Structure 1
Amino acid sequence: MDASFVVPIPTLHLFPTLDRELIALLKSLTPEEWKAPTLARLWQVKDIAAHLLDGNLRTLSMLRDGYAGDPPGSIHSYQDLLDYLNGLNASWVTATKRLSPQVLIELLELTGRQYTDYLSTLDPFAKAAFSVAWAGETESLNWFHIAREYTEKWHHQQQIREATRRPGLLSRELFYPFIATFMRGLPHAYRNTTAENGACLKVTVTTDAGGDWFLIRQEGNWILVETYSGKPSASLFIAPDTAWKLFTKGITPEKAREKTAITGDAKLASTALGMIAVMAAR
């Protein structure tokens, strides 16, 4: 196969596994655990489950069936888009408070399969309906859109696991595609950071589930690569449990700094702690 047609971060095959893990998790929860607070702040466990259902239904309605519902109005900026999405999310969570946990589980089982079936019909190298805005893209390919959707499902399930003290999804099979997708946001996170040509930041997500990524300054731009033979200007070492919480706004950059190690240019490395790989404002 031509290397140019190899999906950089394959995730589609993992959706059924992620869904099975989610359903088993939700079926194991006690009534009290459904009400547990989460890192999503305003949302309890049940609210996150409802949000995951919304993701399935919205994709099937809008992208599979071509039904958009009420138009979003004027969106001229990232903040406009953020406000619109926050409004959609809040109204859905409010409406689904009348649904029982059992109904949510049944609907997640049904729509999860339909959702994955729809994603499998997409040409991974065709233009996606929605760009990955947190990576600074105004147009994205479907493979990146699918990987972004994987990170959404992964981190929301992880929030439920964290809230209910269940084992996390930190195997290499499930975690590495998640964090590799998030690392695609580094060039955008550094867009306002200047450095000498050739400067290099090495980001290491520790344990066997993680990996190394290199952000290199070239001709006024930041380029993300996975191999680099030179000496980095700065290195950041971060554990998986800290990384997923930081990049989804579960903890602050200040709190994350206490749990990370930096060598070399500390200012250059610290900028990475401000990266957000979800649709949110820091």
Structure 2
Amino acid sequence: MAQQIPVETVHLFPVLDKMLIDLLRSLSPDDWHKPTVAKQWTVKDVAAHLLDGNVRGIATLQGYESPPPDVQINSYRDLVVYLNNLNATWVNAMKRTSPQLLIEQLESTGQQYIEHINSLDAFAPAKYAVAWAGEETSLNWFHIAREYTEKWHHQQQIRDAIGVDGLLTPELFYPCIDVFMYALPHNYRKVDAPVGSVIQITVYSHTGGSWYLHKTEAHWILDKLAAPTTTNITITADTAWRMFTKALTPAEAENRAEVTGEHQLAKAFFATIAVMA
């Protein structure tokens, strides 16, 4: 019997890619310079970062091994700093590129990137682990799903900046938030609670759903099986994507949410990030 992929995302990459190209072609000259929730990055900077993701995926497809880090990485924080520097270097260089050329490069590399994703064995070890979920090794299906969340949330940042909806749909948003939730057990690893405690997280809207975080003897586990709850957290889809991608502070996210039951157990949820930041 074939193994079932926990979160299917491969089929969604072409959909996101076409939506991105159509969106970028519709932008006015002023739109490219609008600020986004990605701190210092404009719309154009975020688009350039998406191109960087394509280029790195294609390099892997072509068997190219990038040079090892030129600094010592001894911790998660070291890794984040290293990646942030790599990202900044690329984005700064791409400031010389015109929006039209950037669109053309995204369109041409997008197809090759999708070939890369489709070439991966879903249950083989991934080249890069999903570190924000606490994994030292990951399977390709999870790596691919993580890449989907990257492409989803960066395009959402662009749409948010220019006020154009499109990604908060059941087809596109639910897989993204489903993957983001995989960060919770790792983020709760130091949270003490009686065995049997259950935290229900509900993203309310036609795009959302409910997830349950259970405290066992050894750790916290995540599933979608309803159970008597200790704490209930309810947030909107808009709050969810912003919180998991660090566009909201924990306090801002909590102020937007509804919490019932043991409030203290909800604190770690609002500090959860599902990106390398």
- Tell me which residue corresponds to 2:262: 265
After TM superposition, what 4+ stretches of structure 1 lie above 4 angstroms from structure 2?
none
Q: Is the 8 A contact 1:161 1:167 kept in 2?
A: yes
Deviations 1:211-236 (A, max 9, x none): 110000111300111113x3100010
Give, in angstroms, the shift of residue 118 of structure 1: 1.1
Report sequence identity in percent: 53
Q: Is the 8 A contact 1:248 1:277 kept in 2?
A: yes
Could you tell me which of 216, 229, 234 is aligned with 1:232?
Answer: 229
Could you tell me which of 116, 120, 129 is aligned with 1:118?
Answer: 116
Amino acid of the structure 2 residue aligned with 1:257: E
Aligned counterparts of 1:271 and 1:71: Cα–Cα separation in 2: 34
Amino acid of the structure 1 residue aligned with 2:230: S
- Tell me which residue corresponds to 2:240: 243
Pair 1:33 & 2:47 matched: no
Query: What root-mean-square deviation, in Å, do the aligned CA atoms of Structure 1 and Structure 2 show?
Result: 0.9
Q: Is the 8 A contact 1:197 1:220 kept in 2?
A: no
- Tell me which residue corresponds to 2:55: 57
Secondary structure, aligned partner of 1:246: helix
Within-5 A mapping of 1:1-282: 1-2=1-2, 5-61=3-59, 63-73=60-70, 74-228=72-226, 230-280=227-277
Aligned counterparts of 1:201 and 1:274: Cα–Cα separation in 2: 15
Q: Is the 8 A contact 1:213 1:227 kept in 2?
A: yes
Q: Is the 8 A contact 1:38 1:45 kept in 2?
A: yes
Secondary structure, aligned partner of 2:234: strand
Aligned counterparts of 2:117 and 2:26: Cα–Cα separation in 1: 28
Deviations 1:187-245 (A, max 9, x none): 011011011111110000111211110000111300111113x3100010010000000
Amino acid of the structure 2 residue aligned with 1:65: Q
Secondary structure, aligned partner of 2:82: helix
Aligned counterparts of 1:267 and 1:10: Cα–Cα separation in 2: 33
Give, in angstroms, the shift of residue 64 of structure 1: 1.2
Normalising by structure 2, we get a TM-score of 0.98
Aligned counterparts of 2:67 and 2:196: Cα–Cα separation in 1: 48
Q: Is the 8 A contact 1:162 1:168 kept in 2?
A: no
Q: Which runs of 5+ in 2 are unaligned?
A: none
Aligned counterparts of 2:116 and 2:57: Cα–Cα separation in 1: 9
Aligned counterparts of 2:166 and 2:118: Cα–Cα separation in 1: 26
Aligned counterparts of 1:76 and 1:258: Cα–Cα separation in 2: 35
Give, in angstroms, the shift of residue 257 of structure 1: 1.4
Give, in angstroms, the shift of residue 279 of structure 1: 0.1
Give, in angstroms, the shift of residue 268 of structure 1: 0.3
Secondary structure, aligned partner of 2:256: coil
Secondary structure, aligned partner of 1:21: helix
Give, in angstroms, the shift of residue 168 of structure 1: 3.8
Aligned counterparts of 1:69 and 1:214: Cα–Cα separation in 2: 39
Deviations 1:24-60 (A, max 9, x none): 1100000000000000011000000000000000121
Q: Is the 8 A contact 1:37 1:44 kept in 2?
A: yes
Aligned counterparts of 2:268 and 2:77: Cα–Cα separation in 1: 21
Aligned counterparts of 1:267 and 1:164: Cα–Cα separation in 2: 37
Aligned counterparts of 1:70 and 1:182: Cα–Cα separation in 2: 29
Aligned counterparts of 1:175 and 1:21: Cα–Cα separation in 2: 14
